Amino acid sequence: MRRLAIILLLTIAPVAVGAIALGAYLNFGSIRIIYIGLVHSRFDQLANRIGSDIEVALSFGLPLAGQDTLTPLLSREQSNDPLLNSIDVAGADGKVLFSSDPNRIGTDIATLDGTVDVRSRIVANDFGVPVGTVLARGSMTRIQRQLDGVAETVERTAAITGLLAVLISAIVILVPLRAFYAQALGAARLADDATESADDAFGWAIAEVETAHAAITARLGDRRGE
């Protein structure tokens, strides 16, 4: 029974653990896509809101370069979201006019930076002519740090679930096998008892035959003696 239990456990437990690990991997992939989608949606909403405010000011005749109130607005919005590196407003030439990061002013938004996740919104005047761009620049390092935290939680949950699966597999295997083994032992004992009873009855009959044979032999000997 012990050997059979070990074989079954080594067969079922890896399958259960593998299924849990695969499920955790697929779940994390889905969570990652959803999380990044939510971050992008938040950045898009922020860029759209700032872009709409700029377009309202443009409609009142205030040029983009003269909207100095954007500086405190961008700083306030950036401070509310720890995933943002900066919020920039660039002119039609691609040069940053306003930013929550003063070091960004005057730089070119076309400069690629692999450490940021950029979401942008075009700003247009009343005639639909683009006059600038709003950029929400997220920090890939901070976003990845958040995802790493989620990954650790998923891994920890999967590990606990895997251990529980192994334990449940052992219980599911050992309990029925133990009952089956007990029934088999009971049946074997009943068979042994029945065999012993048959042997006792057969031995008694042989003894009776031998006794009768001895009596007959004795009688025949007496008759020969006469």
Query: pLDDT (tens digit, 9 = 90+) per residue, 33-75?
Result: 999 999 999 999 999 999 999 999 999 999 999 999 999 999 9
Instruction: Note the maximum CA span of the chain.
Output: 159
Query: Over the stretch 106-127, which tens digit does the pLDDT of each residue have?
Result: 999 877 676 788 899 999 998 9
170 or 136, higher pLDDT: 136
Which among 45, 36, 47 is positioned nearest to 117, based on CA atoms? 36
pLDDT of residue 172: 73
Rounded Cα gap, residues 94 and 190, in angstroms: 94
Give pTM, 2 decimals.
0.67
Class of the 2-157 domain? Answer: alpha beta
- Phi and psi, residue 117, nearest 5°: -115, 110
Cβ proximity of 148 and 80 under 8 Å: no
Task: Kindly report the average pLDDT of the chain as a whole number.
Answer: 81
In the prediction, which pLDDT does 123 show? 95
**Partners of 108 in the β-ladder:** 95
